[in-house]
Chain A
Amino acid sequence: MTQQELAHPELAGIQVDEDSGDISRSEVILKGALAAGAVYGTFMVGPFVRKALAMSDGGDVGILNFALTLEYLETKFYEEAKSRAGAKGELKSLVDLIAKDEKQHVEALTATIKQLGGKPVAEPKFDFPYNDTAGFLKLAQTFEDTGVSAYNGAGPAIKSKDVLAAAGSIVQVEARHAAAIRIQNKEEPSPDAFDPPLDEAQVLKAVEPFLA
């Protein structure tokens, strides 16, 4: 697959590396989700995640661990951005706000996984390829849109109504971040009437090659 064919080449550059030799299922799904987003666009992420989680059969803990991996990525990304993205003024305040929200998502997901009797996954190592504010913003937009699609894709697979409601309260915040970042990028805050668009049958067929 050459760079020109990628809908989001910046996603293809993300490195997600486990600390130990033991690659968690969540990391595998996250890598697949990023690959689906890179090749087909972020609207493919939700359906990919939905199918991958259904196939991995990890129950609510599996879904929460996937969400935790995603929130680890976002937290690390925004924490790093504080000193690396060259953000000033309004954007700096936004980066600080989002970093704080994502950190709270990590804490809440970790605690909830433990309460459900599960083991929270370890934080993987990430490497974010950008050199300036514009590169940061582009990646931020893709992560936030990916986050929204991933939570929306996972939602119907969640068994516990309480976990579903709580995941809903997180995805709405991700959507709000996405809109604010998009405005910083001078892009439409809500590009489509549906997050993600609902032509799922086609989408599932397209992401099939990424599923083990």
Chain B
Amino acid sequence: MAAKDSVSRRQFMALTGGSAAAAAFLAACGSDDDSGSTAAETTMPAKSGGSSETEQFGKGDLGIVNYALTLEYLEAAFYADVVKSGLFKGAELKAIEKFGQEEAEHVEALTQAAKALGGKPAPEPKAEFPLENAKAVVELAGTVENLGAAAYLGQAANIQSPEVLASALAIHSVEGRHAATLNGMLGLPITPDGAFAKPADAATVLKSVEPFIVG
């Protein structure tokens, strides 16, 4: 399986450089804004997978699952704090509660996935979020959800296990739904990257959430 993967990968890489549409399509893989990883990825055997940034959370798929779990903990905590803040009521509050509930379900699923991989689930980070006014909160929610969707997209090709990949994809598109909903509320484009969503690597994502982690 691994050998077959790297063969098709090499064939694929040899074929790149054709039409503009295909180039744009494959640029969505993120090789354009992540110059360091492109060369490494083409020569790296498929089996070794994973990015070094997620290895701090564990090896291979476990590291990716625990990285995602850390992000989901932050999202779930954020929505829980927003619900408690009293800044929203009615339909808006209901939507926030629904999103928060879904993030909590992601936390649960990823915790189980980490255990199924024989690993220890990442601990919940201690987080604090600025909750000054409703508008700023929706803006932060939009930023967090778009980043979350990009984070999953950035890891999809690094995942080795088909089961873990299926779960990650099932979560990824839900993050995309959340992001589009919040963008709509903010009067921003629902597909800010156009027809092809852009990924974010773990280093970028972790740097973005760092200000909210207090311990």
Give A contacts to B, CB under 8 Å. Answer: 60, 94, 97, 100-102, 104-105, 107-112, 114-117, 148, 151-152, 155-156, 159-166, 168-180, 183, 188-190, 192-198, 200
Contact = CB atoms under 8 A, between A and B. Distances in A.
Given A117-B15, A161-B5, A194-B171, 12 more contacts: A111-B21, A114-B18, A148-B173, A155-B165, A156-B165, A162-B12, A162-B13, A168-B199, A172-B149, A172-B153, A177-B180, A192-B174
Contacts of B157: 161-162, 164-165, 168
A160 B9 contact: yes
B181 A190 contact: yes
B102 A190 contact: yes
Given A190-B178, A194-B174, A155 B169 contact: yes
Given A116-B12, A162-B9, A101 B173 contact: no
16 contacts: A60-B8, A101-B191, A111-B19, A111-B22, A155-B169, A162-B9, A162-B16, A164-B157, A165-B153, A169-B193, A171-B172, A183-B181, A189-B181, A190-B102, A193-B171, A194-B171
What 3 A-B pairs are tightest by C-beta distance, nearest first?
A: A169-B28, A108-B25, A175-B176
Interface centre among B99, B176, B198 (most CB of A within 10 A): B176
A203 to B, nearest CB: 12
B8 A160 contact: yes
Nearest to A117: B15
Contacts of A164: 156-157
Contacts of B156: 155, 164-165, 168
A195 to B, nearest CB: 4
B89 interface: no
A159 B19 CA distance: 22
A196 B5 CA distance: 26
Given A115-B18, A115-B19, A189-B177, A169 B12 contact: no
A97 to B, nearest CB: 7
A120 B195 CA distance: 20
B206 interface: no
Contacts of A161: 5, 9, 41, 46, 157
Contacts of A165: 28-30, 153, 156-157, 199
